[in-house]
């Protein structure tokens, strides 16, 4: 089974304001997008499990014109608290890379 980096040319994460993280999966092409955008591993439940959050809080947007899947979810703790490890949320996507699609 392929991993995310086998079918995406770029994956990134970033804060969307201090209370949300947003992840963008840029699939390599329309075929990869069509084949994998609705993979089990990219459903709200899987994402919620990886990040330890409530599945109903995960937002999922297909952007077919860009071959992109966008996943947004609330931070467990708002940006900047005393246990902050990733101020920009820029490394959060790495946790998704090992998922089997």
Q: Which residues bind other proteins (CB under 8 A)?
A: 14-20, 22, 24, 57, 59, 61, 63, 65-66, 68, 70, 72, 74-75, 78-88, 91, 94-95
Of 36 and 93, CB closest to other proteins? 93
What is the DSSP secondary-structure string of 42-64?
GSHHHHHHHHTS-GGG-EEEEEG
Please list the residues that pair with 72 across neighbouring strands.
Answer: 22, 59
Q: In the complex, what is the shortest distance from the CB of residue 89 to other proteins, in angstroms, rounded to a whole number?
A: 9
Of 5 and 94, CB closest to other proteins? 94
Q: In the complex, what is the shortest distance from the CB of residue 68 to other proteins, in angstroms, rounded to a whole number?
A: 6
Distance between CA atoms of 59 and 2, rounded to whole angstroms? 24
Is residue 2 within 8 Å of residue 101, measured between CB atoms?
A: yes
């Amino acid at each position: 089974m392929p991993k995310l980096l086998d079918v995406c040319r770029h994956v990134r994460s970033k804060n969307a304001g201090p209370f949300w993280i947003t992840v963008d999966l840029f699939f390599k092409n329309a075929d990869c997008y069509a084949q994998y955008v609705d993979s089990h591993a990219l459903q709200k439940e899987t994402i919620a499990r990886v990040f330890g959050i409530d599945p109903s809080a995960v937002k999922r947007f297909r952007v077919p014109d860009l071959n992109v899947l966008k996943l947004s979810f609330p931070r467990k703790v708002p940006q900047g608290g005393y246990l902050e490890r990733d101020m920009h949320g820029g490394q959060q996507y790495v946790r998704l890379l090992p998922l089997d699609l």
